[in-house]
């Protein structure tokens, strides 16, 4: 990498299952942008609040974005709340 190149902030894809849907959608979205690689970090099988806390902590430290497909309403609520509190952009891909 050249000294003047900027490293892109990572995109975390958080899922309560394998994460294939979220990863596929994230890759499709990122393909629309030319230039530079964006690190895509898959975080599958998120089933505990502590896992959500950890991914939000990592996203905050790396100035990352969190895309999620969490079906569990409680975990989804925790993720959205923590992301908002830590000024981390989060996007619910599952609606």
Per residue in 10-56, pLDDT tens? 999 999 999 999 999 999 988 887 676 889 999 999 999 999 999 99
Please name every residue paired with 12 in a beta bridge, in sequence order, or none if there are none. 41, 66
| Per-residue confidence (pLDDT) for residue 31, from 0 to 100 | 86
Nearest Cα to Cα of residue 70 among 52, 82, 89: 52
Please name every residue paired with 91 in a beta bridge, in sequence order, or none if there are none. 67
- Asked whether the predicted pLDDT for residue 84 surpasses 60, the reply is yes
Percentage of the chain with pLDDT > 70? 91
- Asked whether the predicted pLDDT for residue 3 surpasses 70, the reply is no
Quickly count: other Cβ atoms within 10 Å of residue 76's Cβ.
19
- The whole-angstrom separation of Cα 68 and Cα 85 is 17
Question: pLDDT band for position 83 (50/70/90)?
Answer: very high
CB-based contact 69:45 (threshold 8 Å): no
């Amino acid at each position: 990498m050249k000294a003047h190149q900027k490293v892109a902030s990572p995109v975390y894809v958080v899922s309560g299952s394998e994460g294939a849907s979220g990863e596929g959608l994230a890759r499709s979205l990122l393909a629309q942008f030319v230039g530079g690689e964006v690190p895509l970090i898959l975080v599958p099988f998120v089933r505990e609040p502590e896992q959500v806390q950890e991914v939000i902590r990592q996203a905050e430290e790396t100035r990352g974005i969190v895309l999620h497909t969490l079906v569990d309403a409680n975990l989804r609520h925790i993720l959205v709340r923590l992301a908002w509190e830590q000024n981390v952009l989060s996007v619910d891909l599952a609606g």
